[in-house]
C-alpha cells in the first residue's frame, strides 16, 4: 500500500491497468503529478478511506481513475485564493475519472481547464461550503453523472454554481442523473461568460433544488434539456430555467414557477 510520501511518484510511474491503493487513515496534502504518463490506458488509485487535501494533475498527467471510498478536500478550504482552494485541479489532462468518493469544503470542488479532455465524474458526493462544485474552462468531453451536490455557497458576493462552464475552448458537456440541493444563493447548472455559440450540452434527468434563480441556464448553447425536475414547490423561490433558441427541451418540471424566456408548454411537453 502507498503512503503519502510515495503517492505522486507512484501515480506518474503506474503501468496501464495497475491498481494503486493508499493505506487507510492517511491525510495527504497537495499531491501534484506533472507531465504525461507513459501508459496508454488508465491506472486506478483507490483511496481506501484516506483523505487527500488538494489533488493536482497538471500538464498532461492523466490516464487515471480515482475511486473511493475516500475524501478529497482543499488544503485551505474555501476561504483562500487560487489552486490551494481547489479540492481537485485538472489542467491539460486526458482520460481522468472520479468515482464513488466525497469532495468537500473547497472554494472549487473540481476545476477542469488547460484543454483537458474526457473527464468523467460519477457517483461523487459534493458537500459543505463551496463557491463552485465543478467549474469547466477550456475543457472538452466532460461528463457528470449520478452525483450528489449538497452545497452552501461561500458567504461572499461572487457568482456561484454547482456545475458551470465557460471559455472558448469548452465543448461537449454532459450532465445526467444528478441530485442537487443548493443553498446560500448557489445556482444550478449552466454556462457563463465568453463561450462558443452553439457549444454542445446535454442536461437530462437531474433534480435541482436551489433557493435562487437559474437552476438551469443554457442561453448560448446547442443543448438538449430533458426530464429535469426543478425546485421544491416553495413559491417564494425562483428556481428557473433560462434557455436560448438552440435548445431542444421536453419533459421538464418546474415546481416553483414557469421558466423564463420560453413558454411553459414548449419545455414541459412530453418527450417522444
pLDDT tens per residue across span 54-108: 999 999 898 999 999 999 999 888 888 889 999 999 999 999 999 999 999 999 9
The answer to whether residues 59 and 113 belong to one domain is yes
Taking the C-alpha atoms of residue 253 and residue 241, their distance in angstroms, rounded to an integer, is 10
CATH of the domain at 142: 2.160.20.10
pLDDT above 90 (res 268):
no
**Residues 203-262 pLDDT 10s:** 999 999 988 878 899 988 999 999 998 876 565 555 567 778 898 988 888 765 544 445
C-alpha cell at 43: 491506472
Both 136 and 202 in a single domain?
no
C-alpha cell at 85: 482552494
Cell numbers for 81, please give them. 485564493
Same domain? 221 vs 183: no
Could you tell me which of 251, 179, 263 has the C-alpha nearest to residue 215? Answer: 179
Please give the model's pTM, rounded to 2 decimal places.
0.94
Last residue of a domain, one of 172, 196, 220: 196
* Domain identity same for 192 and 202: no
> Of 196, 229, 256, which closes a domain?
196
207 plus 255 within the same structural domain:
yes
DSSP string, 127-162: EEEESEEEEEESEEEEEEES-EEEEEE-SSSS--EE
Residues 96 and 22 in one domain: yes
Mean pLDDT within 2-13: 95
User: Which one of 161, 196, 231 terminates a domain?
Assistant: 196
Same domain, 174 and 209: no
State how far the alpha carbon of 116 is from the alpha carbons of 96, 211, 271, in Å. 9, 32, 33
- Same domain for 19 and 129? yes
Kindly report the CA angle at 95 between 6 and 175, in degrees rounded to 5?
120
Q: Are residues 128 and 261 in the same domain?
A: no
Range of the domain at 270: 198-272
What is d(CA 143, CA 97) in angstroms, rounded to the nearest whole number? 9
The reply to whether 90 and 187 lie within a common domain is yes
Instruction: State how many domains the chain has.
Output: 2
Instruction: Say whether pLDDT at 180 is over 90.
Output: yes
Are residues 19 and 87 located together in one domain of the fold?
yes
Same domain? 148 vs 270: no
CB-CB contact of 202 with 218 (8 Å)? no
Amino acid at each position: 500500500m502507498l503512503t503519502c510520501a510515495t503517492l505522486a511518484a507512484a501515480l506518474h510511474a503506474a503501468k496501464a491497468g495497475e491498481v494503486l491503493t493508499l493505506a487507510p487513515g492517511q491525510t495527504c496534502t497537495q499531491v501534484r503529478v506533472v507531465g504525461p504518463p507513459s501508459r496508454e490506458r488508465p491506472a486506478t488509485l483507490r483511496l481506501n478511506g484516506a483523505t487527500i487535501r488538494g489533488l493536482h494533475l497538471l500538464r498532461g498527467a492523466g490516464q487515471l481513475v480515482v475511486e473511493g471510498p475516500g475524501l478529497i478536500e482543499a488544503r485551505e478550504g474555501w476561504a483562500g485564493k487560487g489552486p490551494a482552494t481547489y479540492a481537485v485541479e485538472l489542467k491539460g489532462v486526458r482520460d481522468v475519472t472520479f468515482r464513488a468518493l466525497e469532495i468537500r469544503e473547497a472554494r472549487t470542488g473540481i476545476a477542469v481547464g488547460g484543454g483537458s479532455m474526457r473527464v468523467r465524474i460519477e457517483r461523487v458526493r459534493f458537500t459543505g461550503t463551496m463557491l463552485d462544485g465543478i467549474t469547466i474552462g477550456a475543457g472538452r468531453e466532460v461528463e457528470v453523472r449520478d452525483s450528489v451536490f449538497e452545497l452552501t455557497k461561500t458567504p461572499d458576493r461572487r457568482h456561484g454554481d454547482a456545475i458551470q462552464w465557460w471559455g472558448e475552448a469548452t465543448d461537449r458537456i454532459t450532465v445526467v442523473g444528478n441530485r442537487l440541493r443548493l443553498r446560500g444563493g448557489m445556482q444550478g447548472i449552466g454556462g457563463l461568460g465568453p463561450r462558443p455559440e452553439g457549444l454542445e450540452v446535454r442536461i437530462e434527468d437531474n433534480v435541482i433544488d436551489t433557493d435562487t434563480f437559474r437552476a438551469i441556464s443554457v442561453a448560448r448553447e446547442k443543448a438538449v434539456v430533458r426530464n429535469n425536475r426543478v425546485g421544491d414547490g416553495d413559491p417564494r423561490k425562483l428556481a428557473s430555467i433560462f434557455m436560448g433558441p438552440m435548445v431542444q427541451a421536453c419533459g421538464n418540471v418546474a415546481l416553483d414557477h414557469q421558466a423564463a424566456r420560453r413558454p411553459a408548454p414548449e419545455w414541459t411537453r412530453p418527450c417522444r
